[in-house]
Structure 1
Amino acid sequence: MTATCHITVDAAHTTGALDHAWRYIGYDECNYTYTPEGKELLAKFGALPDAPYYVRTHFMFCNGSCHGTQKFGSSNIYRENADGNAIYDFTYYDLILDTILATGNKPFVELGFMPEPLVDPKYKEQPELGGVNRYREVGWTYPPADYAKWHDFIGTVARHLADRYGSAEIATWYFELWNEPDIFYWHGTDDEYCMLFDYTEHALHEALPSARLSGPACTGIFLHNGSRTLMKTFLAHCRDGHNFCTNNTGTRLDFITFHAKGSWLPGNDTAAKSVPSVGSLVHQTELALDVIKEEGFADREVVISEADPDGWAAGGIADNPNMRFRNTEYYASYVAATYTRLHELCVSRGVTVRPLAWAFMFPQEECFSGTRTFSTQGIDKPVMNLFRMFAQLDDTAVTLNGDAEADPSIDRALIADFDEAAPTRYTGEGAQTVIAGLATRDTETNDAVHILLYSHCDDIDLHETHDIDVQINGLQPGRYQLTHQRIDHDYSNAHTRWLIEGSPKYPTGDQYEAIKQASTLHDFVPAQAIVVPSSNTASTDTSAQSGITLQFAMPTHAVSLLTFTRL
């Protein structure tokens, strides 16, 4: 792009609510929650001005050592004695939930996976298993041997939660049954998942009638894959199927979950270039919303309970060199572009969709190893600063238009060779550079206007500079302070500083402090006073207003937050 990008904001024209749909995060390893590093990161989210953030994590029902490791966790919430009698121990389960709450956040409770004493023992018959712990390898993915015992287990957990936290508090949480039951996380059939949901729903709502429960938490929906089949089967079952638990028709469904990823980057340390696709993630969401509408659930809230550039959080650069994007400003601009386009999709369809970022931190990892995280060794990545920008936006959107917005037809052309059952490698070459964003106004005081602009191209290796011309109309006359915060290669980017410091695996002392200082959200230019003349009224006739014009440059991968605060 060589021409100047023109952005126009009308601060006087509201377009509806902006509900901060990004306030959702998650991770596999439930035991990382209460580690010092985990608590530190959760506290950062809990301290954001739009907190609480909703926290989802796997393995909450599993048996094991109760020490977190990559892709596994445990709480030992349920065991049985030699006579088969239930033994409940909520020590670690409560510790995880208490930590989420104590850091200023809310639980997004995943009901899974299967406790070892409840698992159908068929998993032990798999001949290909050669490890020392078959339960840890695959047992937790199986259905229960006895659905009545699962019902009792869920009922006991629900009553414990009611006693400990109170039904009013729990009504503000989310509950979700299982994770990705269309793939290896579930070794039952689609009908058996529906059966599990029926027993779970009955037991949970018997103790907690106001709890919000969802399913099916399936993987990305394409035209011809198992996730689409499961979603249709599950929704039809909830609508008018035979309830396995009550023998009635249909099952209560409070909201709906599925996952969407922009790419799949497998383990291959010599992998050719591959990047995430914003368009593919949005495309999967559109296909899922089509199914939800077709099955009669268009009125339900939707949470994309994993909405990410790719599908393997624990993998790093050593596993696939394409994971490099996670350390950089690219990850921030990708999320900004994706979440903005999902918001636009919600507005156009009149639905509510909330994306959850499946990212956290890994204790003791090498610095900037490329895992999908918000921080590394306590040093925040650029993507964390994007959430600091998001959190500053107000709750009412105002008009923002530009001449470099996304063209869906270009997305369709670029991802046309994706196999609709399993996306293939995508390089991003030829992708559009999109410059767009969100603008909000504080309608309570009229004292602040925020404009979040991003520049993003899927091609990670495209490095251009774009001239930006922003016209802001509709500001109340008076004096304002203008601040301009920026995320790019040079600003709010600890990774760049880490490279300058020689890429130390475990930085210490002054070196560590220099890298960490670079991880905070920085101003692009010093704050300045702006005077809006009285002729620039709040009239809806913006053509008659002189407005304020700002000009600056943005790299291909960057995010800016402009804030006008009345003095």
Structure 2
Amino acid sequence: MLKKVKTILILLPFLLKNLSAQEVIRKADIYVDLSVEKGPMKPFWAWFGYDEPNYTYMKDGKKLLTEISALSPVPVYVRTHSLMVTGDGEAALKWGSTNMYTEDSNGNAVYNWKIIDSIFDTYIKRGMKPFAQIGFMPQALSTHPEPYRHYWKPGDPYKDIATGWTYPPKDYKKWGDLVYNWVKHSIDRYGKKEVESWYWEVWNEPNGFYWKGTEQELFKLYDYAADGVKRALPSAKIGGFNVAGTSGKGAQQMLNDFIKHCTTETNYATGHTGSPLDILTFHAKGQPSIVNGMVRMNASPHLRDIEAGFKVATAYPETKNIPLIVGESDPEGCAACGMATDPQNAYRNGTLYPSYTAATIAREYELADQYKVNLRGAVNWSFEFENQPWFYGFRDLATNGVDKPILNLFRMLGKMTGNRVKAQSNRMYPLKTMLDSSIRGPLSDIGVLASKDKTTAGILIWNYHDNDEKKPAEQVSLQVENIPVKSVRLAHYRIDDQHSNSYEAWKKMGSPQSPSAGQIAELEKAGQLQTIGTAQNINVKSGKININFDLPRQGISFIKIDW
């Protein structure tokens, strides 16, 4: 079987160009060798983020955070915007506030940690870690404080969010002291050891709508923030800037300029050469569209953004080995834009979202291997939107407390521990093809990612295509070799229209916007990760087992083997 898989892999780029290839390699032959390790199964996916920090401590927010923390084998990191924004803590789309900084009538700083504590307390209680974003500008410090509070809604121009919180500070010393006092307060509340395990970052997408200053003002902002962090905790880890569209020339120039500033230029805050740079962060987004009334995904820009960030980091000796964090890693760029105003976002409720994510995460491992980088995190920018319509089409993990199919992919990934092992599929597109043109050929991407730990193995298999269209299920033949025991326990988890899918269950109910208590209970059950049948004991012959099953388009199977 392995020889057959290798032959098809060599021919696959040619075959994908020919419609006749559909007959040649209709069935997916997948081969996994548990004896050949490729590298650690780093759970860089166990990072999540969202725009609206005040959802954190609300009813459905706390419920979802509890579920996210439970699915990961390691502590989950959480990133949110607007942690320093002035306001009353009211939650709204693409808005949040903590009111941590105001000034008295004499211009003296007034610090208030009540709301930020309620946010971070929620994380710490669940064993989660803040990926603490130093932003945005408090109203009392902004050089352009009015207008400040925005009231953006889906369908409004995105630029409408950019109000007074996007401007540089009128006093950089006060800005640095604010950061110092925030970190110092965090140590007093949670302890030095805990805060040492966090990551701190300055600002967000300064090459987009989030920054109204110059590049040098941005570097000055960073220097004073980094100095404040390090004065409070020299062992803290800090970086920036989460540029948007990393594969674009402008974004790459800013990232290069930032690294050069941190390594060779004069620090605005200290007067010394260089600024602390413990992590490097950037964003990566795909680009879905509507083609003849159909949603069509595009993973190429997403993966090219990641590759571009890796290339920049590895070009400098000071950054080639530091932790890299993809601060937002998503199919597109606006979580709060629903499908009513942006129909290309209709992928978010069903199985297309998790199948896309599985296919791209597998390629992120490949890219990290290829460039030999320390990929520490890739933030899935999706959470929940409190008290919003059911299945409105937000990019979220749950709706009204009911888990969506995408969350079950992360439950599958959470079962993969130890090291990645050799896994091949005759239907998995090469990395280069996906970078160049995503998955547009006549055949779907039936790919595989596999791991092995001391007494368990996990095999993730997806059937992904950019086009959101129904196709017949396809045959998968899985062979697992070099199993170290004579008998194993096998469970087959599945995400498709019939399994682990609250959205399909909701549609079958008639898509109610006011479901009954009984219906909600049924939806919550449908939103959990489900198996096909029950777990079975299987005899291992000559170190091998063979499994055959059908996998629908946009479906995902996870084979868990225990011994």
TM-score, L = length of structure 2 = 0.90
**Which of these residues, 283, 300, 307, is aligned with residue 286 of structure 1?**
307
**How far apart, in 2, do the equivalents of 1:24 and 1:412 lie?**
23
TM-fit CA distance, 1:512:
2.0
**How far apart, in 2, do the equivalents of 1:124 and 1:375 lie?**
33
TM-fit CA distance, 1:122:
7.3
TM-fit CA distance, 1:35:
0.3
Residue identity matched to 2:437: L
2:14 is matched with none
**How far apart, in 1, do the equivalents of 2:516 and 2:391 lie?**
14
**How far apart, in 2, do the equivalents of 1:395 and 1:156 lie?**
39
SS for the counterpart of 1:84 is coil
**Which of these residues, 82, 85, 88, is aligned with residue 59 of structure 1?**
82
**How far apart, in 1, do the equivalents of 2:306 and 2:74 lie?**
25
1:350 is matched with 372
Q: Deviations over 1:421-446 (max 9, x none)?
A: xxxxxxx7547521122211123xxx
**Which of these residues, 338, 341, 352, is aligned with residue 319 of structure 1?**
341
Task: Tell me: CA distance 1:108–1:412, structure 2 relative to 1, closer, same or farther (3 Å).
Answer: closer
Residue identity matched to 1:525: G
Task: Tell me: CA distance 1:412–1:361, structure 2 relative to 1, closer, same or farther (3 Å).
Answer: closer
Task: Tell me: CA distance 1:453–1:188, structure 2 relative to 1, closer, same or farther (3 Å).
Answer: same
CA contact (8 A) 1:431 1:459 kept: no
SS for the counterpart of 2:535 is strand
Residue identity matched to 1:558: G
TM-fit CA distance, 1:273:
4.3
**Which of these residues, 82, 85, 91, is aligned with residue 114 of structure 2?**
91
CA contact (8 A) 2:448 2:462 kept: yes
2:155 is matched with none
2:169 is matched with 144
Once the two structures are superposed, the pairs formed by residues 84-233 of structure 1 within 5 Å of their partners are 84-121=107-144, 138-224=163-249, 226-233=250-257
**Which of these residues, 447, 451, 464, is aligned with residue 456 of structure 1?**
464
TM-fit CA distance, 1:137:
5.5
**Which of these residues, 451, 459, 484, is aligned with residue 440 of structure 1?**
451
2:54 is matched with 31
Name stretches of at least 5 consecutive residues in structure 1 with no aligned partner. 416-427, 537-546
Q: Deviations over 1:287-338 (max 9, x none)?
A: 1211222244211211111000111101112111221110001101111111
Residue identity matched to 1:439: A
**How far apart, in 2, do the equivalents of 1:556 and 1:7 lie?**
17
**How far apart, in 1, do the equivalents of 2:225 and 2:407 lie?**
35
1:239 is matched with 263
Backbone CA RMSD of aligned residues: 2.2
1:394 is matched with 417
TM-fit CA distance, 1:123:
5.9
TM-fit CA distance, 1:222:
2.2
CA contact (8 A) 2:462 2:555 kept: yes
**How far apart, in 2, do the equivalents of 1:413 and 1:16 lie?**
26
Task: Tell me: CA distance 1:413–1:210, structure 2 relative to 1, closer, same or farther (3 Å).
Answer: closer
Residue identity matched to 1:45: I
Matched, 1:299 2:321: yes
1:564 is matched with 561
TM-fit CA distance, 1:477:
2.8
**Which of these residues, 359, 363, 367, is aligned with residue 337 of structure 1?**
359
**How far apart, in 2, do the equivalents of 1:362 and 1:233 lie?**
36
Task: Tell me: CA distance 1:146–1:272, structure 2 relative to 1, closer, same or farther (3 Å).
Answer: farther
CA contact (8 A) 2:440 2:465 kept: no
TM-fit CA distance, 1:279:
2.3
1:276 is matched with 297
Matched, 1:508 2:516: yes
Task: Tell me: CA distance 1:346–1:476, structure 2 relative to 1, closer, same or farther (3 Å).
Answer: same
Residue identity matched to 2:301: S
CA contact (8 A) 1:167 1:210 kept: no
Matched, 1:77 2:79: no
SS for the counterpart of 1:364 is coil
**How far apart, in 2, do the equivalents of 1:304 and 1:246 lie?**
29
**How far apart, in 2, do the equivalents of 1:60 and 1:450 lie?**
38
Task: Tell me: CA distance 1:309–1:49, structure 2 relative to 1, closer, same or farther (3 Å).
Answer: closer
**Which of these residues, 530, 536, 543, is aligned with residue 528 of structure 1?**
536
Q: Deviations over 1:366-385 (max 9, x none)?
A: 11111000000111000000
**Which of these residues, 247, 251, 256, is aligned with residue 275 of structure 2?**
251
**Sequence identity, in percent?**
34
**How far apart, in 2, do the equivalents of 1:271 and 1:186 lie?**
37
**How far apart, in 1, do the equivalents of 2:431 and 2:367 lie?**
12
TM-score, L = length of structure 1 = 0.89
SS for the counterpart of 1:118 is coil
Name stretches of at least 5 consecutive residues in structure 2 with no aligned partner. 1-21, 153-158
**Which of these residues, 543, 548, 559, is aligned with residue 551 of structure 1?**
548
**Which of these residues, 350, 361, 369, is aligned with residue 392 of structure 2?**
369
TM-fit CA distance, 1:86:
1.1
**How far apart, in 2, do the equivalents of 1:413 and 1:166 lie?**
47
